A = this chain, B = another copy of it.
Amino acid sequence: MNELGFGASLTDVSEGIINKDGTFNVKRTGIPFSESFGFFHFFINMSWMKFCGYIILLYTVINLIFTCLYFLAGIDGINGLPDKGFFEKFLFTFFFSTQTFPTVGYGTMAPTGIIHNIISSIESLVGLLSLAFATGLLYGRFSKPVAKILYSENALIAPFKNLNALQFRVANQRMKHEMIEVEVTVIFTIIENIDGNLKRQFFNLELEYSKISFFASTWTVNHVINENSPLYGLVKEDLEGIDAEFLILLKGFDTAYAQIVQSLYSYRFPDIVWGAKFTKIYDRSKSGKMRVKLDRINDYDRAELNTPTTGNFS
């Protein structure tokens, strides 16, 4: 058992500890906004849709600000503006700004006034730095190593030799990313009533293999429920209502990123199936080549559980 940094008296995590997307289901309060907010990671972790929206918004807002500055300085200081109404002058000043910010500078419109020249020299500096910033953001977004691990929807309590075992399947979803030296940690957590005091307990589950050298396709993670297992002798009903959860931590070296990647997952009570076995996920193509059918990762067949001497699953 190892402590998990949740303190000793978490009594009410009715929605589980780890969400299905791998984030933690904990709300922290009392942190000043500026401390907890990572500017860079805000842009790194949002969706591409949102990211593009922000880029266009920022581009428009910055150009509008500079347009206003040029306007405030007087539009006489920019030559080449059309000699028309207010709106059109504002619009073309905006266009002048969009020629300065990305350092296009056609020159059909150009600053002549001193203040306008100062503003435009600042704008092109801001443009350069924005480009530098965008470069960093794009690189950050693309190069962030993310393991795309597919987990079987259910964890099974399956017959295994003379005993039973807790099993789930993981698959590497990335076609071009092989993972090596992959390690899995499985932690079993429940809420126990100790002297009328509800306390969350954590147990490290021993695995048949906790580390594999090559993770090309799929792996059935297997915890044998023997006398040393905290699950030994428990029946299905024992796990109900005690907020049981299996926390999964998978870590490995991704050969495409050439970096360590990790993935978090969790199975809760309703995700556990008693008395079942995973079906085969491999078959052979016509040319005799081995194929992994990842859409079969969730498939299982019903199977009779073994009855260990000191306990049994219903």
Contacts and interface: CB of A to CB of B under 8 A. Distances in A.
A142 B108 contact: no
Contacts of A306: none
A30 B281 CA distance: 11
Of the candidates A102, A133, A171, the one having the most CB atoms from chain B within 10 angstroms of its own CB is A102
Contacts of A136: 135, 138-139, 142-143
A290 B148 contact: no
Interface stretch (A9-17, A233-241, A268-276): A9-17
B107 A106 contact: yes
Contacts of A284: 11-12
A227 interface: no
A302 to B, nearest CB: 20
Interface string A127-157: 1111111111111101111101010000000
A190 interface: no
B142 A134 contact: no
A124 interface: yes
A11 B171 CA distance: 19
A89 interface: no
Contacts of A310: none
A9 B216 CA distance: 15
Contacts of A31: 150, 173, 175, 294
Contacts of A220: 7
A193 interface: no
Size bracket, chain A contacts: 35 or more
A141 to B, nearest CB: 8
Nearest to A217: B26
Interface of A: 2-7, 9-15, 17, 23-31, 35-42, 44-45, 55-56, 59, 63, 79, 91-92, 95, 98-100, 102-108, 110-112, 114, 117-118, 120-121, 124-125, 127-140, 142-146, 148, 150, 171-178, 180-182, 185, 187, 208-209, 211-220, 247, 249, 251, 253, 255-262, 264, 280-282, 284-285, 288-296
Given A17-B216, A28-B217, 16 more contacts: A3-B212, A5-B172, A7-B280, A24-B217, A26-B216, A29-B295, A36-B173, A38-B177, A102-B127, A104-B120, A131-B132, A135-B136, A136-B142, A180-B264, A187-B213, A187-B214
25 contacts: A4-B212, A4-B215, A5-B212, A7-B280, A7-B282, A14-B289, A24-B217, A29-B291, A38-B177, A38-B256, A41-B257, A95-B111, A99-B105, A102-B124, A102-B128, A103-B104, A104-B104, A105-B105, A107-B110, A140-B143, A214-B247, A214-B249, A253-B260, A253-B262, A258-B262
